[in-house]
Amino acid sequence: MNTALNSRIHVAKSNLLAYCITTFILISYFFYLDEGNFNFAWMSDPAHWIIFSFYFIVFLVLLLLIDAFTFSKATGPFKAVASILLFLAACFLITYTLFYNP
């Protein structure tokens, strides 16, 4: 069973880079909105970077899980694009449900 799980979680280096960039952009956008000032002044405080790293890790793990379990048979760039689109849709739905749904 351990071998099956290890083969399922393997991610190509190019896909991992795309996932890291996508997660960084998404979390940066959330932090841009979260402060209410719509600026990046939060970057000057080291404590905000600790919280940013926590969110980055959580969202990256979520994206890797989507990659590993949803599109396990797909290969190539389709797998990365499909995983990123599903991840962004899930983040949009969660954000909409938490903040904009009356």
Per-residue pLDDT band at 53 (split at 50, 70, 90): very high
Count of residues for the chain?
102
Which domain covers residue 49, as residue numbers? Answer: 2-100
Query: What pTM did the predictor assign?
Result: 0.73
Instruction: Look at the chain and report how many structural domains it folds into.
Output: 1
Contact by Cβ (8 Å): 11, 67: yes
CA-to-CA distance for 55 and 99, rounded, in angstroms?
18
pLDDT tens digits along 11-43: 677 788 888 999 999 888 888 777 656 677 778
Q: Which two tokens stand for residue 29?
A: 């956008």
The residue-averaged pLDDT of 70-76 equals: 72
